[in-house]
Amino acid sequence: LGCRTVLDYQILSVSKAFTHWLTINNVDNVISRVNSKVIA
């Protein structure tokens, strides 16, 4: 049970980190598009 709980926690942490990374990438993409439109 203990090992199972640790494994679940690690999977949860990885999925949270991945979601956070995706969100940051999306924000960067939007900012890049806005900047290129402003410059253009």
Q: What is the pLDDT of residues 28-39, one digit of tens each?
A: 999 999 988 887
Mean residue pLDDT of the chain comes to: 89
Going by pLDDT thresholds of 50, 70 and 90, the confidence category of residue 14 is: very high
Q: How far apart are CA 29 and CA 19, in angstroms?
A: 15
CA 13, 18, 21, 22 torsion-angle sign? negative
Q: Residue ranges per domain, the chain?
A: 1-40
pTM score: 0.59
pLDDT given at position 40? 63
DSSP H or E segment with residue 15: helix 2-39
